[in-house]
Amino acid sequence: MIGGLSWESSAVYYSLMNKLVKEKLGGYHNCKSVMLTVDFAEIELLQRAGDWAKMDELMADAASKLEAAGADVVILCTNTMHLCSEAIRGSISVPFLHIAEATGRAIVKQGAKKVALLGTSFTMEKDFYKTLLKEEFGIETIIPEKGDRDKVHRVIYEELVNGEIKDESRKMYQEVIGKLEAQGAEGVILGCTEIPMLISDKDVNIPTFNTTEIHAAMAVDWATAE
């Protein structure tokens, strides 16, 4: 696991994967794993500077170190940094499980054809997530209008990555999701691994796709398959 993006969601991944392995295998089993935690402060500066080449280098280095440590599969415990997926795949010989692929499978299973996507501005505005969902699964993705995207992004970076959960921010997210539902969204992708700390199915009228849970479950299914 490449973690630290942010560490709060990495902790959720770790907890989920151990619980899922115990549920599958029973007894005293837990998830055999190794996590390399990067410094989010460094990544955030590079994101603001738009230096994706350097981030590719850092993610590829992290993935290769995980393989050297014995990992049989690599996952990236975040959505946005999947912009570095090709660099990661090019640095390792073991499988890399993409979060959007896992999410697409979950959406297809739910039967939805048109979904909303919430996340950082990078995730919402760049094509890496939306293109994969369209090309691999035939899923149409819609995003909030510019003003709402800015508000969603701000809450992630100013609050959620710092572990701050505010009722007013939850209400704002509910309003944004309501607008997207009115545009025909049959579900909403919580496309930042911190968003599920703020929003869940009980908060909105349409199904939520918790990418943290979906991704962790896919990794455990892969690792425990016969």
Q: Which residues are catalytic?
A: 78, 192
Q: Are 15 and 28 in contact (CB under 8 A)?
A: no
Which residues make beta-bridge pairs with 118? 190
Cα distances from 158 to residues 153, 154, 196, 212, in angstroms, run 9, 6, 16, 20
Task: Give phi and psi for 117, each to the nearest 5.
Answer: -125, 120
Tokens standing for residue 203: 């908060």
Give the N- to C-terminal CA distance of the chain in Å, as an integer.
Answer: 21
Cα–Cα distance, 26 to 48 (Å, whole number) = 44
* Residues 6 or more apart in contact with residue 149 via CB below 8 angstroms: 121, 124, 125, 143
Q: Are 43 and 61 in contact (CB under 8 A)?
A: no
Q: Provide the 10 A C-beta neighbour count for residue 61.
A: 16
Q: Are 187 and 208 in contact (CB under 8 A)?
A: yes
Give residue 222's identity as a one-letter amino acid code. Answer: W
Residue ranges of the alpha helices (H) in 50-166? 52-68, 85-91, 99-110, 121-125, 128-137, 146-158
